[in-house]
Amino acid sequence: MSTDHKQEWMRLCELASKEQDPEKLMELVREITRLLEERETAIKARKNTSESGALSN
């Protein structure tokens, strides 16, 4: 995770931990989830790329 994404993720988590409005909280949770899904997709892509490279050697 890039430093910028990590800082954004941490900022959103901090905001969510203090949010009292249920609608705003859900909006924050959706954004946190989106960032985590992006990270998971990137990790899987790197893993698949490295596995493909290892198989061709």
**How far is it, in rounded angstroms, from Cα 37 to Cα 30?**
10
Query: pLDDT tens, 17-47?
Result: 999 999 999 999 999 999 999 999 999 999 9
The span from the CA of 39 to the CA of 27, in Å, is 19
Q: Considering the entire predicted model, what is its pTM?
A: 0.76
Res. 54: pLDDT tops 80 = no
CA 50/CA 57 separation, integer angstroms: 11
3 state SS for 15-54: HHHHCCCHHHHHHHHHHHHHHHHHHHHHHHHHHHHHHHHH
Nearest to 38 by CA among 4, 3, 11, 5: 5
User: Where do the domains of the chain lie?
Assistant: 3-56
